[in-house]
Amino acid sequence: MSFGLLAPLTLAALAFVTTLRSTPPPPVVHSTIRVVDVRGAAALVARGASVLDARDGAAYAGGHLPGAQLYAWSLFTGPASARGRVRADLHAIAAGLATLGVDESRPTLVYGAAGLGQGEEGHAAWLLALLGHPDIAMLDGGFDAWRTAGRPVVTSTAAARGGRFTARIRSELRIDRAQLAARDTQILDVRSTAEFGGATLRGEARGGHIPGALSMDWRTVLDERGRIRPVQKLRESLETAGIDANEPFVVVCTNGVRAAFVSSVLAARTIATPAVVDGGMLEWAADPTAPLATV
């Protein structure tokens, strides 16, 4: 090969390497949330993990995992238009979770109704992460996956063994309405398409979405069986919605529950740890000065 041909090739190679180096690397995600299958969940129960059932009271009474305690997200949030915002005293919330058996020295397993619910188990996982719990497991497929696998189900309720849980708050996992209004960031709205377009299906004072927000229904992260999709599928869904997962973004829904589920899933799959707008569209729409869009 002549030197005359080698020089252009060398320059091209250098240009290619430079392009590669200029592409920002994906963010490093260190998550305390993980996803486990039924076998993994059973192993955690056998080891004495704390177990939280995030379904409603009727579903819990109809049968639940041995030792599970009922987690009701609304007990930890505000009233009226602040129905999704986590109460201010996070240390008191940690103490309340400790009465349900949550202990910082052992894992906590959370489960819900998977795609049949509203992502309540994700809210439990997110709240535990917000409070600094070091080991949180979400049961993939929820209660139905456990029951279908023939694992033991009980209807009796036993008092929880009190736990020890001191809040070590991870403030980066939540964002309030004022902070959001002042920050230039990607916003992922995980309500349904109808809600995004203006339908007030959950009591919002006004319909629409935050200007500039991008839409992705929260169920997109689940397959037809209610199982969490693999990493590549999740990345593709974010990309289709217009979200750059390598850059910061926040997640919003009506009251923080569906948003917390999506945030927990993305963290567990080590894709991103987006902050949750826990006051959600209930708080945003309740302020008549807050802008809304419908297209």
pLDDT the model gives residue 295 = 85
pLDDT tens string, the chain, 295 residues long: the values are: 443 444 443 444 434 334 434 555 656 667 899 999 999 999 999 999 999 999 999 999 999 999 999 999 999 999 888 899 999 999 999 999 999 999 999 999 999 999 899 999 999 999 999 999 999 999 999 999 999 999 999 999 888 988 999 999 999 999 998 899 888 999 999 999 999 999 998 889 999 999 999 999 999 999 999 999 999 999 999 999 999 999 999 999 999 999 999 999 999 999 999 999 999 999 999 999 999 999 8
Between the alpha carbon of residue 114 and those of residues 121, 141, 146, the distances in Å are: 8, 5, 11
Residue 225 falls inside a structural domain:
yes
pLDDT the model gives residue 5 = 41
CATH of the domain at 97: 3.40.250.10
pTM: 0.90
User: Which structural domain, as residue segments, surrounds residue 206?
Assistant: 172-286
Question: Among the three residues 151, 169, 187, which one is the final residue of a domain in this structure?
Answer: 169
3-state secondary structure of 246: coil
3-state secondary structure of 50: strand
Instruction: Name the residue among 125, 126, 147 with its Cα closest to residue 38.
Output: 147
Hey, which bits of 180-266 come out as E strands? 186-189, 214-215, 249-252
Residue 279 falls inside a structural domain:
yes
Q: Do 176 and 83 share a domain, yes or no? A: no
Strand (E) or helix (H) holding 93? helix 90-99
